[in-house]
């Protein structure tokens, strides 16, 4: 039996809301089946006040084991490194102090969502609260715990990123760890579990035919590819959102909204509007990560020259106008 403690720091609670949408099976059944005991979650547990504080102190003192420490939300170090912008309710002690001590006892420490992983939305702009991730500050290693931090099982922080995180990314990661199968080589260079980070959002996108022919949507609601004009980063974003749809049905691109690469550090500050594709000499700046620019330009020119009229018209429409033509084979 592995036990799990979930704390919420600086964020909106969206990752907890997402986790409640876990299906096939539901969250509680999944945890029970994996032998995971939920010690405490601020929204899902009954214990409050002195009961919770006593449990946390027992963990810190080594009187109670902690297998899975899950932190949701960024860690707020301000003002001036005191952490007093965020005191853990009823304790008078900064959340960063609790997290630092608990992380020294945890067998595994997980950052749930991009805020806990990299700072996320909470760290955007002037970052007056000095918000950071657990082991990353944006793209840079460090964060609250420092780049050298390792859990009791010699693991760095596991960054189950996303804004919000996909519920199955969390449950599958927890199951792997509960079974004792967690290894550092199962994480990518940004600390994300490779079970979802080894795929791109582009994989499985329902608009891929439009992408191949560079038949582009020109405004939200159009059917075409959103990379050229509407800022879609699906060819660069790591996540299996389109091959593992949310609630079995949806994803951002399936819902008609461009991918904003929310699993990555600093996605919250793209330095341009989310629904805008920055270009240089008419060429999108955000090209597929593993394709040389010259190749992309050459391929795009050929693709556009060969675009079927059906796709050109459908790409700029809110509804399918021309279905694929049925060609009967001649004997």
3-class SS of residue 109: strand
Please check if 205 is assigned to a binding site: yes
Tokens describing residue 230: 């509407």
Give the list of residues 6+ apart from residue 198 with CB closer than 8 angstroms, or none: 188, 238
CB 192 within 8 A of CB 116: no
> Does the annotation list 262 as a binding residue?
yes
**List of residues 6+ apart from 259 with CB closer than 8 A:** 201, 232, 233, 234, 237, 241, 252, 253
252 carries a ligand binding annotation: no
160: helix, coil or strand? strand
Chain mean position to CA 157: 14
User: Would you list the DSSP string of 190-248?
Assistant: TS-BHHHHTSBTTTT-TTHHHHHTT-B-SSTT-SSBSHHHH---TTT-B--TTTS-BTT
Cβ contact 190:159 at 8 Å: yes
Binding residues for [3Fe-4S] cluster: 241, 259, 262
List, as residue ranges, the binding site: 12, 15, 115, 163, 202, 205, 225, 232, 241, 259, 262
Which residues make up each annotated binding site for [4Fe-4S] cluster? Answer: 12, 15, 115, 163, 202, 205, 225, 232
């Amino acid at each position: 039996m592995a036990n799990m403690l979930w704390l919420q720091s600086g964020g909106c609670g969206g990752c907890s809301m997402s986790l409640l949408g876990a299906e096939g099976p539901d969250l509680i059944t999944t945890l029970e089946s994996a032998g995971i005991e939920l010690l405490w979650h601020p929204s899902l547990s009954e214990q409050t006040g002195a009961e919770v504080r006593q449990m946390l102190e027992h963990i810190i003192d080594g009187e109670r084991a902690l297998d899975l420490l899950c932190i949701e939300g960024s860690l707020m170090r301000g003002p001036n490194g005191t952490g007093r912008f965020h005191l853990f309710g009823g304790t008078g002690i900064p959340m960063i102090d609790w997290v630092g001590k608990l992380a020294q006892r945890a067998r595994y420490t997980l950052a749930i969502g991009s805020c806990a992983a990299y700072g996320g939305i909470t760290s955007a702009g002037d970052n007056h609260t000095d918000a950071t991730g657990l082991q990353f500050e944006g793209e840079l290693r460090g964060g609250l715990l420092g780049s050298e931090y390792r859990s009791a099982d010699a693991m760095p922080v596991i960054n189950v990123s996303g804004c919000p995180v996909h519920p199955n990314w969390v449950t599958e990661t927890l199951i792997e760890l509960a079974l004792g199968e967690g290894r550092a080589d199962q994480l990518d260079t940004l600390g994300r579990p490779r079970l979802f980070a080894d795929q791109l959002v582009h994989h499985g996108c329902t608009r891929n035919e439009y992408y191949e022919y560079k038949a582009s949507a020109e405004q939200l609601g159009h059917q075409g590819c959103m990379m050229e004009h509407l800022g879609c980063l699906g060819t660069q974003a790591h996540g299996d959102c389109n091959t593992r749809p949310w609630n079995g049905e949806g994803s951002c691109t399936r819902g008609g909204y461009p991918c904003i690469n929310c699993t990555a550090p600093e996605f919250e500050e793209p330095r341009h509007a989310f629904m805008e594709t920055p270009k240089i000499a008419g060429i999108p700046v955000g090209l597929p990560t593993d394709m040389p620019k010259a190749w992309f330009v050459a391929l795009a020119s050929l693709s556009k020259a060969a675009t079927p009229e059906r796709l050109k018209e459908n790409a700029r429409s809110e509804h399918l106008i021309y279905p694929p033509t049925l060609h009967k084979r001649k004997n």
